[in-house]
Amino acid sequence: PEEVVVYQNNIIKEVEVLPEKPEPRWEYEKTLKIKEVKVDIPKKQVSKRPYLMQCGSFRRLNDAETLKARIAFQGLNTIIKKTTTWYRVVLGPYDNKRLAEKDLHKLQRANINGCMIWYWDL
């Protein structure tokens, strides 16, 4: 590179020109091709217990029957379990949680909310 002379107000300045920008040298592309990374992935533990989905708990049987009918319109079968003073509306058993979540999303799209997924107590 050449030096450039700049005239400004009758003052002569010499300006140094910067050297050309060097080409980047990336070496990681070469090293990545020859390296191998081993990652141990632990196996996911699959639950042996079945799941249930509870969509409501009512003191009156009539209220539980109403929710059971709304769920039946979505093509799902429910069970009404009577405890001491409550009528629980449940679906299941499901072999895995993913199947229960599939039905949960179907009910949510039908504006039936408040359902919870639990382990099935046999």
Domain CATH number, residue 80? 3.30.70.1070
**Could you tell me if residue 75 is inside a domain?**
yes
* pLDDT, tens only, 78-94: 999 999 999 999 999 99
**Could you tell me if residue 5 is inside a domain?**
no
The pLDDT of residue 2 is above 60:
no
The pLDDT of residue 6 is above 70:
no
**Could you tell me if residue 87 is inside a domain?**
yes
**Could you tell me if residue 79 is inside a domain?**
yes
Q: What mean pLDDT comes out for the span 37-60?
A: 88
5/12 Cα distance (integer angstroms): 7
**Could you tell me if residue 109 is inside a domain?**
yes
122/120 Cα distance (integer angstroms): 6
Q: DSSP characters for 47-107?
A: P-S-EEEEEEEESSHHHHHHHHHHHHTTT---EEEE-SS-EEEEEEEESSHHHHHHHHHHH
% of the chain surpassing 90 pLDDT: 57
The pLDDT of residue 96 is above 60:
yes
Query: Which pLDDT value is given to residue 117?
Result: 96
Residue 29: helix, strand or coil by DSSP? Answer: helix
Model pTM?
A: 0.61
Biggest CA–CA distance in the chain, Å, is 105
**Could you tell me if residue 8 is inside a domain?**
no
**Could you tell me if residue 77 is inside a domain?**
yes
Domain assignment of residue 59, given as a range: 51-119
**Could you tell me if residue 45 is inside a domain?**
no
Neighbours of 74 (CB within 10 A): 13
Total tally of structural domains belonging to the chain: 1
Phi/psi region, residue 68 (left: phi>0; alpha: psi -120 to 50; beta: rest), is alpha
